[in-house]
């Protein structure tokens, strides 16, 4: 009997040692300790049927075996648990630095929006704040206050879209961001430096014109502002935005809201060759404009300039057809 107990115990311990899962261990537990046919329980139950002198030793050994097997099972449970966590550390390891398998394509800004944001940043460093307005504009802000008299021929120059709606009679789709000069000056006391990027509209459509395009207006009003200030600001900004070697040239021109009025050309490398390209209009703010917004032209003066964003981006990246910006062909847009 004692030998039987010893074998039972050794068998059990051997099985426990190689058990590789909690389930196998549970089965071993049942085999030896199950309420119905547990092998150790059977022996304990059989003690009363033994010879009295045998009972003591059998009972003692059976209890030792029971404890050893129980302890063995408990220890193995613990080991299996440990192994499970240890393997989790390798099987479920996540490398957070690894690139995603399904690459999600990130959206990007449209080249025009991107350039306008760059303008805001560059002019911001030069002390200019951003002013925003409306694309549907009244005659006063788009023309009249900018010194376009009602019969001024320059109104015709701008191929205006007039809004044909009784309620919005007299409104236009703004033809220039210069309306923002008026809107900002009406609301604020000088001195100030602002830029106003935005959409403008003109009846025009070909490889270099679109009925909707973008401009950026720049206005500085202070005391004793000069054309040299204008040149410095514009040149500094363009050197950072377009090309560090850009140079500028001014030609006399005419815009009703500036005096003198200037056409600005930039010297740029195009296909390896230095070329003067017209980039926008500029000038010293006309005193009539200042008077229209109740600013005393004896105390204050300033400059304004405006240029087309599409044209700038075309120059910067060598884009040949302006319409590419609005076709939204990803093959084009992805290049920026
Ligand atoms: N608003 C003018 C245009 O669209 C450009 C301009 C802006 C000219 C500011 C002078 C001063 O043609």
Q: What is the Å distance from ligand 1's center to 308 Cα?
A: 9
pLDDT of residue 157: 64
Please report where in the chains the tokens 């051997």 appear, as a residue: 14
- What is the pLDDT, as a whole number, of residue 291? 98
Write the residue with the smallest CA distance to atom 8 of ligand 1.
281
The H or E element spanning position 198 is: strand 192-201
DSSP secondary structure letter of residue 260: E
Among 226, 185, 219, 178, smallest CA distance to 200 is for 178
Q: For residue 261, what are its two tokens?
A: 């009025």
pLDDT digits (tens, 9 = 90+) for 188-215: 999 999 999 999 999 988 888 899 999 9
User: What is the distance between the alpha carbons of residues 88 and 79, in angstroms, rounded to a whole number?
Assistant: 14
CATH: 3.40.50.2300, 1.10.287.130, 3.30.930.10, 1.10.260.40. Which one for 111-333?
Answer: 3.30.930.10
Please give the pLDDT value at position 247: 95
Q: How far is the CA of 282 from the centre of ligand 1 (A)?
A: 6
Contacts 24+ apart (CB under 8 A), 203-210: 203/159, 203/160, 203/161, 204/159, 207/320, 207/321, 207/322, 207/323, 208/311, 208/322, 209/322, 210/310, 210/322, 210/323, 210/325, 210/326
DSSP letter string, 37-55: T-HHHHHHHHGGGS-HHHH
Cα(177)–Cα(265) distance, rounded to whole angstroms?
19
Can you list the positions of beta strands (E) in 231-308? 247-253, 258-270, 273-285, 301-308
- Distance from the alpha carbon of residue 215 to the mean position of ligand 1, in angstroms: 9
The single-letter DSSP state of residue 222 is E
Per-domain boundaries in the chain: 2-89, 111-333
Burial of residue 306 (number of CB atoms within 10 Å: 0-12, 13-18, 19+): buried
What sign does the CA torsion over 181, 187, 188, 193 have? Answer: negative
- The stretches in the chain having pLDDT less than 70 are 154, 156-158
Look up residue 16 and give its two tokens.
């426990």
Question: What distance in angstroms lies between residue 283's CA and the mean position of ligand 1's atoms?
Answer: 9
Residues with CB under 6 A from ligand 1: 176, 178, 255, 258, 281-283, 304-306
| Long-range own/partner contacts, residues 80-87 (CB < 8 A, 24 or more apart) | 80/19, 80/20, 80/21, 80/22, 80/25, 81/22
pLDDT at residue 132, as a whole number? 94
Give residue 291's region: left, alpha or beta (phi > 0; psi -120 to 50): alpha
Q: How much is the pLDDT for 119? A: 98
What ranges in the chain are assigned the alpha helix state H? 2-18, 22-33, 39-46, 52-91, 111-125, 139-142, 154-157, 179-187, 227-241, 287-292, 309-317, 324-327, 330-333
The pLDDT of residue 287 is: 97
pLDDT at residue 111, as a whole number: 95
Of 155, 257, 281, 282, the residue with max ligand 1 atoms within 8 A of its CB, to mutate for a pocket test, comes to 281
- The torsion region of residue 209 among left (phi > 0), alpha (psi -120 to 50) and beta comes to beta
Residue with tokens 């009003």: 221
């Amino acid at each position: 009997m004692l030998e039987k107990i010893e074998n039972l115990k050794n068998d059990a311990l051997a099985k426990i040692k190689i058990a590789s899962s909690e389930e196998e261990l549970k089965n071993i537990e049942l085999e030896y300790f199950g309420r119905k046919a547990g092998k150790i329980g059977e022996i304990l139950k059989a003690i009363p049927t033994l010879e009295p002198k045998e009972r003591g030793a059998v009972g003692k050994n059976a209890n030792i075996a029971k404890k050893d097997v129980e302890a063995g099972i408990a220890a193995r449970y613990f080991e299996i648990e440990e192994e499970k966590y240890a393997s989790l550390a390798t099987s479920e390891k996540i490398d957070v630095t690894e690139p995603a398998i399904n690459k999600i394509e990130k959206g990007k800004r449209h080249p025009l929006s991107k350039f306008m944001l760059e303008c805001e940043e560059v002019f911001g460093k030069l002390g200019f704040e951003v002013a925003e307005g409306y694309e549907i504009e009244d005659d006063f802000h788009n023309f009249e206050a900018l010194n376009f008299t009602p019969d001024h021929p320059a109104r015709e120059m701008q191929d205006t879209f007039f809004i044909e709606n009784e309620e919005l009679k007299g409104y236009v789709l703004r033809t220039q961001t210069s309306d923002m000069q008026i809107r900002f000056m009406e609301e604020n006391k000088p001195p100030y430096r602002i830029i106003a990027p935005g959409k403008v509209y003109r009846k025009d459509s070909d490889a270099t014109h679109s009925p909707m395009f973008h401009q950026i207006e720049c206005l500085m009003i202070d005391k004793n502002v000069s054309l040299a200030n204008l040149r410095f600001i514009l040149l500094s900004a363009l050197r950072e935005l377009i090309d560090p070697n850009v140079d500028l040239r001014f030609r006399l021109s005419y815009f009703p809201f500036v005096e003198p009025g200037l056409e600005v050309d930039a010297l740029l490398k195009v296909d390896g060759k230095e070329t003067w390209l017209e980039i926008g209009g500029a000038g010293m703010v006309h005193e009539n404009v200042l008077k229209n917004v109740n600013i005393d032209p004896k105390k204050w003066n300033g400059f304004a300039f405006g240029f087309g964003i599409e044209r700038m981006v075309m120059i910067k990246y060598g884009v040949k057809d302006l319409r590419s910006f609005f076709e939204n062909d990803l093959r084009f847009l992805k290049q920026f």
